[in-house]
Amino acid sequence: MNFIRTTFLMAAMTALVVGVGGLIAGEAGLMMALLVAGGMNLFAYWNSDKMVLRMHGAREVDMRTAPDLVRMVQRLAARAELPMPRVYIMDSRQPNAFATGRNPENAAVAATTGLLERLSPDEIEGVMAHELAHIKNRDTLIMTITATLAGAISMLANFALFFGGNRNNPLGLIGTILIMVLAPIAAMLVQMAISRTREYSADQLGAEISGKPLALANALRSIAGGSTIENRAAEANPASAHVFISNPLRRGGIDGLFSTHPPMAERIRRLEAMSGGGGYPGGRDPRSISRSEGLSGIPTAGGDLSGGRRTGPWG
């Protein structure tokens, strides 16, 4: 169902580009906008992983610097039948994570120190499985295509603003002005709808990869509880907010209407429905498990959240 919805939304975005292009820029303007937007996003497609990792100060870890986290990702990647991605840690008190990379062979997953400090091993596993699901679903490619189309629409609107647009369109001057204003907003809304759909799909597949939907649900609760903690790197680079498992930006007012992520309560409800509502895996609530259990070296629940760099298996 999520795949069908994504396909429908991308078809709607394509139709919007063609329709708006013909009305406000004509055939020549449409082709120019698509070429320029395509070139910009092709560059971003090949370099976005390096750019976003650098933006958030992520440092790569390995079996020497963070053995437990790397082993966890290695095990989950094998279960998902994916190549082993590169693993990164970001120094941020806010619990969050993201995946990036143009394809499964060139992918990376990153988690914040806040996520590693606050969550139990099962919950961390659920989050990492969610990020691997994004890689398996090739969501980076989907969002790159969507960004190309949205960028083309914005360029068409700017083209009409500076050069007058297609004067032979049937809507007249007022209609052209309205399209110039409304078309980019419509494109943004469709783009956000696609992003939200991909989050639901990653939740579902991530729960299947880890085999612990309730652990992922509890992880989302913990992440939501830490959402008020400022993520300075994300605030400085809001364009990268959509890659995170939860919106890293501080929200208020009507911001929720334009969120790239679906409501956390609905995501949790769907994950709980996957488990059949029948208790917790192994008969234990993951929230009741001591942070010192499971993988060795998990930071304790009362660990330092000052943002300082930790030592040990989590880096």
Q: What residues are annotated to the active site?
A: 131
Please give the structure tokens belonging to residue 199.
């989050």
For 229-236, the CB contacts below 8 A with 24+ separation are 229/93, 229/94, 229/95, 229/114, 230/94, 231/92, 231/94, 231/96, 231/112, 232/92, 233/55, 233/56, 233/57, 233/90, 233/92, 234/56, 234/94, 234/96, 236/55
**What is the spatial distance between Cα 148 and Cα 192, in angstroms, rounded to a whole number?**
14
**What is the spatial distance between Cα 298 and Cα 87, in angstroms, rounded to a whole number?**
17
